[in-house]
Amino acid sequence: MGAVTTSKEPKQDRSRVTRQRLLEAAVACLAEHGWAGSTVSVVAERAGVSRGAAQHHFPTREDLFTAAVEYVAEERSTALRALAPSGPTHRREVVEAVVTLYTGPLFRAALHLWVAASDEEQLRPRVTELEARVGREAHRMTVELLGADESVPGVRETVQGLLDMARGLGLATLLTDDTQRRNRVVAQWARILEKVLD
């Protein structure tokens, strides 16, 4: 943003706040009502924003929801980056944090969007591209945080499998609160991962 302030800033700030509120409302709608129940009108009302203002920011429903999932992805990445410095002693913590990224309302919203995208031609290419990008970023950060050496054969696939497991654990929480079982699985696989990576 730089140090120079202009008279435009308050308006830009308001616009940014409106956009942010729309994105947060879109994520909450998707997580609670799924794709079918999530329209621009519903999201605008939830955000306390007029339909016109919502459409100024996001001309189509697809624009709004892909932006919402991109926002979720960025939030999840920020959460992962905020973790303590990596190193072999922190591996269990890293595994726990990665799994946390795939549970909770953020992942739930993404899941609804994926399933909707698998049937909707208009949505599919955007969500596929976005998911590929998010997947690469999550992988890169997980490797870094685990202090894993991908030049060693098998390490890359070990980390990928961990992320797949995290995704599967996220899916398991969709219908029931599965926290206790999940914690035991995570503890065991963190132990296994420590042995494999050392």
For a second copy, the binding residues (CB under 8 A) are: 32-37, 108, 111-112, 114-119, 124, 127-128, 131-132, 154, 157-158, 160-161, 163-172, 174-176, 181, 184-185, 187-189, 191-192, 196
In the block, tokens 């994105």 appear at: 23
Compute the distance between CA of residue 163 and CA of residue 95 in angstroms, rounded to an integer.
9
Question: Between 6 and 180, whose beta carbon lies closer to a second copy?
Answer: 180
**Closest CB to a second copy among residues 122, 188:** 188
Residue 172: HSE in the Cβ half-sphere, 13 Å Cα cutoff: 15
For the chain, the residue count is 198
Least distance to a second copy from the beta carbon of 158, Å? 6
CB of 56 to a second copy, least distance (A): 28
- Residue appearing with tokens 């926002």: 71
Nearest to a second copy of 35, 58 (CB atom)? 35
Nearest-approach distance from CB 36 to a second copy, in angstroms:
5
Q: Which is nearer to a second copy, 40 or 49 (CB)?
A: 40
Which of residues 51 and 184 has its CB atom nearest to a second copy in the complex?
184
From the CB of 26, what's the least distance to a second copy, in Å? 16
> Angle, nearest 10°, between helix axes 104-119 and 124-146?
140
Give the shortest CB-173-to-a second copy separation in angstroms: 10
> Comparing C-alpha atoms, which of 73, 76, 97, 79 is closest to residue 146?
97
Q: Which residue has the tokens 């946390």?
A: 100
Enumerate long-range contacts of 162-165, CB under 8 Å, 24 or more apart: 162/95, 162/98, 162/189, 162/193, 163/98, 163/135, 163/138, 163/139, 165/99, 165/189
